Amino acid sequence: MAEADWQKIDPETAEGNPRRPEGPAGRAMLARMNESHARLVDWGLTHIDLRAGDTVLDIGCGGGNTLARMAERVTEGHLTGIDYAETSVEASRAFNAELIEVGRAEILHGSVEALPFDDAHFDAAVTVESFYFWPRPEECLKEVARVIKPGGTFLLLADIYGRDDLPAGIRTKIADYNLTNPTPEEFEQLFCAAGFQSVHMDFQDGEYWIAVRGVR
């Protein structure tokens, strides 16, 4: 997210509560995020190999756009979204109603702290712009690793990460929202400690974006 976008995190976004969207303001914010995160999602999904028959989890599925984009590639498998905000679950279900109706997707209410899935259940998992808010990040990453099959991939996308040249406006928002914003080195340490066997990172020129891929 460019600095200008971060400046929009003010009255109406604050009312929607980015940490846990709720109410009409939350629904409006989720609709905006489907649009404002679209470029990040398009770029980020080029860094993960999704096959037609995969089972894929979207953690913190928000307004549902990422699930819809992955459905373009996961045409025979199954997509699952999960979010701990009931407003996000409702919004994502509405956005992906057709996928749900034909049995290609389901969207659940739950937390990354205790994912309601068996061990080694998914071929891949993704999260977009949600890691900032995860409690106990290392423990949550262990929970993500638990539900991914050996050799499977977890892709984390964020439009900022810890770096020395972040503008003052972005640094203020990080402090205001108490965001977890690791450096690349810290991401690698967190992923390895959680049980991922290898970690790869990609960065987008002209942006503050990061794509972190952990292979189970």
Three-state SS annotation for the chain: CCHHHHCCCCHHHHHHCCCCCCHHHHHHHHHHHHHHCHHHHHHHHHHCCCCCCCEEEEECCCCCHHHHHHHCCCCCCEEEEEECCHHHHHHHHHHCHHHHHCCCEEEEECCHHHCCCCCCCEEEEEEECCHHHCCCHHHHHHHHHHCEEEEEEEEEEECCCCCCCCCHHHHHHHHHCCCCCCCHHHHHHHHHHHCCCEEEEEECCCCCCEEEEEEC
Say if pTM beats, i.e. exceeds, 0.75.
yes
pLDDT at 91 over 80: yes
pLDDT digits (tens, 9 = 90+) for 154-213: 999 999 999 999 999 999 999 988 999 999 999 999 999 999 999 999 999 999 999 999
pLDDT digits (tens, 9 = 90+) for 32-76: 777 778 999 999 999 999 999 999 999 999 999 999 999 999 999
Ordered domains of the chain (ranges, CATH):
3-215 (3.40.50.150)
Mean pLDDT of all residues in 79-90: 94
